[in-house]
A and B are shown apart, each in its own frame.
Chain A
């Protein structure tokens, strides 16, 4: 990774202080890589790095809209598109926080593996 700003953006993805964590939660849920996430937001990869380095928006309704308007205006990103991505990311993070066993629950809902034919 040659761009130091992109490297820094990767570093803050684990911190709840930054928007990157919310965007990463959304990207994980959609199995998107960075380019895919940038496409979902309608922005260039360089702008995505800046978005990830923004402070995480507040969760309550009026403040969330204000915060995303500020981010969208500053970096030229469609605020509605950003809103839907951020809402999903925040919801996923809330789910992870209140239900740490949710991973196991979701695993239980998967299809069973087909029986192996070479078993005796």
Chain B
């Protein structure tokens, strides 16, 4: 297999047509035909990226297309181009998320290493901690959803995982996640505790 060039445009159109028609084998053929190419391409254009994140991005691009094939419109360009854009976008999101978690880890480490007494809870002379109004009355899953919203997470599958909806179809997940987010945002806004990032 030549990793530097993608499968032909005709092959791409054929596999996409069969994905849309509900073929049972087209998902496997899509992955077999494009995964090695996407991995090689990402390694070439993003050589400094974490190899694990590159692999995950290539896999995500393929799995999304396998499950929602109509997200690709053949009239707008070739399948390989679409998958490259999708994988690069996923990689960039994953790197951003990784950086955010890294910053959080660093800031927590600073608190842990600090000799100052303020990091300890439950001191008699410490002021009582007021609960954050937006989090009052939310259950554990709803709190996590609210945290994801505040972190700028936009992927439906991330919310579906928290809400334990991963067993639903992508369309059902989308609907359920949207309803849950709307409900939680409404409650948080009422409590005056949600400031979303502008996109």
Contact = CB atoms under 8 A, between A and B. Distances in A.
Contact of B25 (A4, A5, A8, A70): A70
B11 interface: no
Given A50-B32, A53-B31, A4 B55 contact: yes
Nearest to B167: A16
A11 interface: yes
B24 A53 contact: no
B166 A71 contact: no
Q: Which of A50, A53, A71 has its CB near the most chain B CB atoms (within 10 A)?
A: A53
Nearest to B67: A17
Contacts of A16: 167
Interface residues of A, number: 25
A16 B67 CA distance: 11
Contacts of B25: 54-55, 70-71, 74-75
Interface in A13-30: 14-19
Contact of B24 (A7, A15, A52, A54): A54
B35 A8 contact: yes
Contacts of A75: 25, 28
B23 interface: yes
Interface residues of B, number: 22
A75 B166 CA distance: 28
Contacts of B31: 5, 8, 53
Q: Which of B25, B39, B62, B167 has its CB near the most chain A CB atoms (within 10 A)?
A: B25
A12 interface: yes
A89 interface: no
A52 B28 CA distance: 8
Contacts of A53: 27-28, 31-32
B63 interface: yes
Interface string A58-98: 00000000010011001100000000000000000000000
Interface in A22-59: 50-57
A51 B166 contact: no
Interface of A: 4-5, 7-8, 11-12, 14-19, 50-57, 67, 70-71, 74-75
13 contacts: A5-B36, A8-B35, A12-B63, A14-B166, A16-B167, A17-B66, A53-B31, A56-B24, A57-B24, A70-B23, A70-B24, A71-B24, A71-B25
Q: Which 8 A-B pairs have the closest CB atoms?
A: A53-B28, A74-B25, A50-B28, A55-B24, A67-B24, A54-B28, A55-B27, A53-B31
